[in-house]
Structure 1
């Protein structure tokens, strides 16, 4: 592997509470929540009836009617985010060899929204046992294959290099960006457009999570339903969204005078080989991913200034990663602020890891740690500093962000200011 250092020079975020990096950061730094009763369909038949939805008008964000017709909602998110990230970076992709510009997009559930909608149409609301395909959208095949997301983004930016979909459950966003970093480091590409997207708020997804009681049944106060690390939490709140980044080699970025949000200094992923949805309480696999990511970053654990937690709001996850932080960082875990932005924007499955990378970079950019909203009653088994309710001003030069996914996937990434890390 070469010594190339990889930095983020452009980003765009589509998240509940507002489209765009500015709106996203204002929501987080203000400690506001974007969770509400589901409006996309009648949620009354479901155990969990709350979600973090995006008020998104695709045509207002530059998509033509034909593009809207062709693309699932998650693909629309990815394309809008990719365009925004490229514009934010100021990079002139036409000046690069297109075969050295690649795309990676993460997604856990693909075109769930489109497939759910089209099934209802071709089955006449589930009344037909033999469906009538003539009523389906002409591009139904593109809903079936998640690779269409990457193809749409590659077509949008003119990238002809490696194009990959990463689908590792709720770590897809972290793993997608991690894969892109590795491609630049090894010298296969010069620029990567990388991130993740998911739009899972649909009847079939709600039914799936209802079945395993993973999502919260708290309906009386939707804005307070997501409660990571709180002793009264009872499940996560489903969300949707996307975040896409322009990644490039540090020297190239400096030569063109690009603004650098952060260096992606270290990344690792591990699996627990244990259970599809269960987690070992000791957090050993996440701790190992953190250790390897820190080693790759050449950074001791006591240099981490902030931990952006997975923090889904389930008891087993919150306790599992609390144990992982103690196991990997030792006493420094007790001195390090930890927070979960899922308390404000919900859990967008495969997209959330990329959205949390954006939050981590913006925490460094603004020297502000976003809070864990709705944390009023701390769980005694979660005894770290979870930054309850209000953001905290703090010099932040290095951030650890982690993800935990069904299937036992555990991923960790270290972001740092380029001048903080020893090359």
Structure 2
């Protein structure tokens, strides 16, 4: 086996890290990527297993005890099933419900930041026992995401490689909803040019993270995708109407009041600034003032909006349009935790299609490999060394897309 020969491994490493190989992407052969993927998958699986065992006290009792973020969703759904949906936005009462499900009053609070539309989904999962619900949630959202990636990539594409994407492991371990977001985004982009009404509706289903939808109108309006925009707006209206019908109009007032508390939590670091991977959080990690941090976030969001609007307005190839939207979403959103970079897997999948069609350009493969690793280490590096690398991941992917979009324009402008 390749790993049984240290001399060969050393030679491969020297070649991989040579400047020429990094520039041309010659290091990224199918066999080398497959071996690196296997190694990364085993490493990530080991880390996830160790964290899971530690969480459940295999190495000794945790003080305080820990759980998954999914317990927050489950508790919210359980309250809604008992006819007490408004209590979801009372932190003390929601915390009591979380601790009751966990069975230990020492459990730290797991916040519920989501708008009332998310309760419709949480209620369904809260009908099952907690561990069964958690398993179905993780398996179902992971299957959705990987199915989207498999359909994006050409036949025989390395879709299994995407099972090593670090954010997938973060999301599975925490029971978060980033896989659902990426899966809906993936299928929306797949259907955008064939079934635009359905594509717009799928994008609207991400309304449980409304800040992730900031650039959807920019893309659809710039690209004059009127059926998709119609499906997007209509589905948002239907979701709002259904939520109001189920929980009453007062639920929106409670959520509106709750958003002030959410803003303070992220503004002043009640959730440490090393967890989010936004330009705002990066500025705060580096000691910037609140105003400076907001300015940094506004610049990032504006740059992302300009890039998406430009690519969609000029009707660039669908691979570039879709990759731009997927990469720009977490760059523009004001609240993005480390696992929320999962949509970058959709962006990279679309870029892989474009690279296979037109060939690789200098540094592209190395940049995308760096992004892959950044998605895994951004949070630990920020926590340990106060070096906020997270915003670089979506920015680098979007930069690759914009560079390719510019090249397409230059090619088209050359006289025949």
Looking at both structures, which has the greater relative contact order when contacts are Cα pairs under 8 Å and sequence separation is at least 6?
A: 1
TM category (shorter chain) comes to under 0.3
TM-score (norm 2): 0.26
Work out which of the two has the higher radius of gyration on C-alpha atoms and give 1 or 2: 2
TM-score (norm 1): 0.25
**Higher percent of residues as strand:** 1
**Higher percent of residues as helix:** 2
